[in-house]
Amino acid sequence: MPRLSYTKALNRALGDELERDPAVCVFGEDIGAGIAQLTLGLLSRFGHDRVVDTPLSEQAFTSMATGAALCGLRPVIEFQIPSLLFLTFEQIANQAHKMSLMTGGQVHVPVTYVVPGSGSREGWAGQHSDHPYSLFAHVGVKTVVPATPSDAYGLLVSAIRDEDPVVVFAPAGAMNVRDDVDFAALGPVPIGQARVHRAGDDVTVVALGHLVHDALAVADELDGEISVEVFDPRSVYPFDWEALAGSVGKTGRLVVIDDSNRSCGLGAEVIATVCEEMTLTAPPKRVTRPDGAVLPFALELDRAVQPGRDQLIAAVRTVMK
C-alpha cells in the first residue's frame, strides 16, 4: 500500500473537497505559496477565487469567512500559528459559534479553521507553542485533533462538510507521521467518534493527536506486564462518551495524557465525566502540561513542560497498583 504523510493527507483532503464542492474556498496567509504545506499546489489548481492569500488581518478574515458562510460558501481558514486562535477567539467563539442560536436557526456557519503545526514546534517558544483545543471544547466549538494521516484526511473532510464551525488542530508532533493507506478507502471520519488504536484489558489510556503515538509506544513497552488500551477520542468536542464508557467498563482504570494546560483541560473533563458517570476500580490520573504553562524556548525546558512517555508509564503503573 502507498505511504501517505499526515501533511499530504491534509493537503489531499482540502484538494478533494475543493474539487467536489464549488462552495469550498480557502483563506489564509501565504497559502498561495503553501508554506505550511496544507495548501500546496491548490492555488494553481483552483485559482484566486477559491484560494485567497490574505493580509495579516486574522480577525477580519475570520469573520469574513463567517460572512461568506452566511451566503452559502464553506470557507476553510488556515492559521499559521496556534495562538492566532487567541487573536480570533472573539470571531470564532462569540460570533461564528453563536450565530445559529442567536438568530433562532435562521443561519448557520459552516467554517473550518485549521492550524497545521499546533503544540510545540520545538524552539518556537512562548507564543508559538500553544495547544488550546480545550478552550474550544469549553465554549462548545466542534474541535478535532487527528493523530494519523487517514484520520487527518477524514476529519478535515468532515469538518468542511459540517454545518457548524469546526477547529482542526494538526499537532506539529504528528505532522511527520506516515501511514500505509489505501487511497480508495480514504473517506470522511465522523466528528465525535473515537478510535481504539490498540485494545487492552487493564487500563484505558486516553490520548489525542501526537500523544497517541506516545501512548502506543508506552503500550508496547509495557506489553506483557500491563495490557493497555489506547483510546483516541479524535474529537475533543463533541466527545465520544459512549465509546469511552465501553472502554472504561472493560478496564476499570483510566489515565489521560493531554497536551493542554492542566487546569480545566480535556484531561479534567475526561476524568470528571468518568468519575461522575462510570465506575473505576482505582483513582484515575492525568498527565498534562502544568497549570498556566508557557513553553520556554530552550529545548530541554520546552520538553520538560510537555507530557511525555516516562510520565505516562509512571501514571499507568500508579493506577495499576
Ligand X SMILES: Cc1ncc(C[n+]2csc(CCOP(=O)(O)OP(=O)(O)O)c2C)c(N)n1
- Least distance CB 63 / other proteins (angstroms): 4
The residue among 91 and 148 lying less far from ligand X, judged by its C-beta, is 91
The answer to whether residue 72 forms part of the interface with other proteins (CB under 8 A) is: yes
Q: Enumerate binding residues for ligand X (CB under 6 A).
A: 29, 56, 58, 80-81, 84, 87
The answer to whether residue 127 forms part of the interface with its own copies (CB under 8 A) is: yes
The answer to whether residue 1 forms part of the interface with other proteins (CB under 8 A) is: no
How far is the C-alpha of 176 from the C-alpha of 172, rounded, in Å? 8
Count CB neighbours of 81 within 10 A.
21
282, interface contact from other proteins, its own copies, ligand X, none, CB < 5-8 Å by kind: none
Which sequence positions are flagged as catalytic? 128
To 5 degrees, how large is the angle CA 254–CA 256–CA 262?
135
- Least distance CB 67 / ligand X (angstroms): 18
DSSP code for 93: I
Name the H helices within 53-209: 58-70, 84-87, 89, 99-102, 133-139, 149-161
The answer to whether residue 190 forms part of the interface with its own copies (CB under 8 A) is: no
Number of residues interacting with other proteins: please give it, by CB under 8 A.
Answer: 94
- Least distance CB 107 / ligand X (angstroms): 20
Give Cα separations from 25 to 49, 64, 146, 225 (angstroms). Answer: 8, 12, 22, 50
321, interface contact from ligand X, other proteins, its own copies, none, CB < 5-8 Å by kind: none
Q: What is the dihedral of CA 74, 79, 83, 87, to 10 degrees?
A: -60
The answer to whether residue 193 forms part of the interface with other proteins (CB under 8 A) is: no
Say if CB 162 and CB 100 are below 8 A apart. Answer: no
Q: Which of 131, 197, 234, 285 binds other proteins (CB under 8 A)?
A: 285
Helix (H) / strand (E) containing 219: helix 211-222
The answer to whether residue 224 forms part of the interface with other proteins (CB under 8 A) is: no
Q: Which of 275, 299, 304, 314 binds its own copies (CB under 8 A)?
A: 275
70, interface contact from ligand X, other proteins, its own copies, none, CB < 5-8 Å by kind: other proteins
The answer to whether residue 89 forms part of the interface with other proteins (CB under 8 A) is: no
Contacts of 258 (CB under 8 A, 6+ apart): 134, 206, 208, 211, 265, 266, 267, 270, 286, 287, 288, 289, 307
Q: Which of 5, 158, 251, 260 binds its own copies (CB under 8 A)?
A: 260
The answer to whether residue 54 forms part of the interface with its own copies (CB under 8 A) is: no
